[in-house]
């Protein structure tokens, strides 16, 4: 059986002149979206956030294929990586990582999702790591009335096998409005569906553009998605639920108060 959260309608927030986002925090979904911690559907046109630390979770930057521009990511691991439209960058902060993402200069705004995904408590003390998934490695599938892009599926991340300690799926689905669609949900998984364009009914519940719903399954099951009066586009982020506490201090999220205190001390010494 699948349990659904209330439908969440986000408000638009701004940070400075160059960044705006719609926010989807786990608290708005009765915590059903575990292992997802938070999602920002953002637009960024210039440098906004200075280098900052993360610890205890994975920060995932997913750029829409139609984003006008890409990011330059640099971090305390010494990685400098371009994240181009249609691609994804997975930053597994674990013990601690400092990073900065800025739009490629003079090339327009960046559109995408910033996704925070929790890590199992046993892996929050692992060394930090970062993995790119360029657009060419994103899986493409299609069927009657739908097409999808699957950036992450299971524990394999791009060409880095078994990079993730717990399985996750990140998928973007486009519906042409001619047929319903059905997605499988595994036992013990939770996640979130965000309507990026158009309108749909999810198991009979209507959602419009920007709205989202959380879900969790206690057995293998399916979610029925009926398109509205025209095309629609959805983002679906899900994974195996971790069922563990979250102690947070800004962008540090650990499974215990003691681990959070230790992480705060470690990240203070990180530099780019």
- pLDDT of 50-98, one tens digit each? 999 999 999 999 999 999 999 999 999 998 999 999 999 999 999 999 9
What's residue 161's pLDDT? 66
Say how far apart CA 179 and CA 195 lie, in whole Å: 17
What's residue 157's pLDDT? 83
Say how far apart CA 155 and CA 110 lie, in whole Å: 27
- The CB density around residue 261, as the number of other CB atoms within 10 Å, is 14
Domains and CATH numbers, the chain: 2-267 (2.60.120.10)
Structure tokens at 108: 């327009």
Question: Dihedral through CA 89, CA 173, CA 57, CA 9, nearest 10?
Answer: 120
Judge whether 112 and 42 are in contact, CB under 8 Å: yes
Structure tokens at 167: 């399985």
Judge whether 181 and 193 are in contact, CB under 8 Å: no
Closest CA to 110 of 49, 50, 47: 47
Question: What angle is formed at CA 113 by the lines to CA 108 and CA 119, rounded to 5 degrees?
Answer: 140
pLDDT band at 269 (very low <50, low <70, confident <90, very high): confident
| Position with higher pLDDT, 229 vs 44 | 44
pLDDT band at 184 (very low <50, low <70, confident <90, very high): very high
Residue 121 has pLDDT above 90, yes or no: yes
Structure tokens at 17: 């002149």
Say how far apart CA 199 and CA 248 lie, in whole Å: 34
The radius of gyration of the chain from alpha carbons, rounded to an integer in Å, stands at: 18
Average pLDDT score, the chain: 95
Structure tokens at 211: 């709205």
Q: What is the mean pLDDT of residues 218-234?
A: 96
- E strands, 144-259, where? 146-154, 168-175, 181-185, 189-197, 199-202, 205-208, 212-217, 221-227, 232-240, 247-249, 252-254
Judge whether 3 and 34 are in contact, CB under 8 Å: no
130-182 pLDDT, tens digit per residue, is 999 999 999 999 999 999 999 999 998 866 766 899 999 999 999 999 999 99
Strand, coil or helix: what is 26? helix
Q: What percentage of the chain exceeds 70 in pLDDT?
A: 99
Number of helices (H) and strands (E) in the chain: give both, helices first: 1, 24
Residue 185 has pLDDT above 70, yes or no: yes
Residue 31 has pLDDT above 90, yes or no: no
Q: What percentage of the chain exceeds 90 in pLDDT?
A: 93
């Amino acid at each position: 059986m699948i349990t659904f959260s209330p439908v969440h309608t986000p408000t638009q927030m701004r940070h400075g002149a160059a960044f705006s986002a719609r926010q989807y925090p786990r608290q708005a979904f009765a915590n059903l979206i575990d292992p997802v911690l938070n999602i920002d559907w953002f637009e960024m046109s210039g440098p906004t956030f200075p280098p900052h630390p993360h610890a205890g979770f994975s920060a995932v930057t997913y750029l829409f294929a139609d984003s006008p521009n890409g990011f330059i990511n640099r971090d305390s691991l010494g990685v400098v990586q371009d994240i181009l439209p249609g691609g994804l960058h997975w930053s597994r902060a674990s013990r601690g990582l400092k990073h900065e993402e800025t739009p490629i200069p003079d090339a327009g705004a960046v559109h995408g999702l910033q996704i925070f995904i929790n890590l199992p408590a046993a892996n929050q003390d692992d060394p930090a790591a970062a993995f790119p998934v360029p657009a060419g490695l994103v899986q493409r599938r299609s069927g009657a009335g739908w097409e999808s892009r699957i950036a992450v599926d299971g524990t394999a991340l791009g060409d880095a096998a078994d990079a993730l300690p717990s399985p996750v799926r990140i998928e973007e689905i486009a519906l042409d409005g001619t047929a319903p669609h059905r997605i499988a949900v595994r036992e013990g998984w939770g996640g979130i569906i965000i309507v990026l364009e158009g309108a749909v009914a999810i198991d009979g519940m209507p959602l419009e553009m920007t709205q989202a719903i959380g879900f969790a399954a206690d057995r293998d099951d399916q979610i029925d998605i009926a398109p509205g009066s025209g095309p629609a586009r959805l983002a679906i982020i899900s994974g195996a639920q971790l069922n563990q506490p979250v102690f947070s201090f800004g962008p540090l999220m650990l499974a215990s108060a003691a681990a959070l205190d230790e992480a705060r001390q470690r990240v203070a010494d990180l530099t780019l």
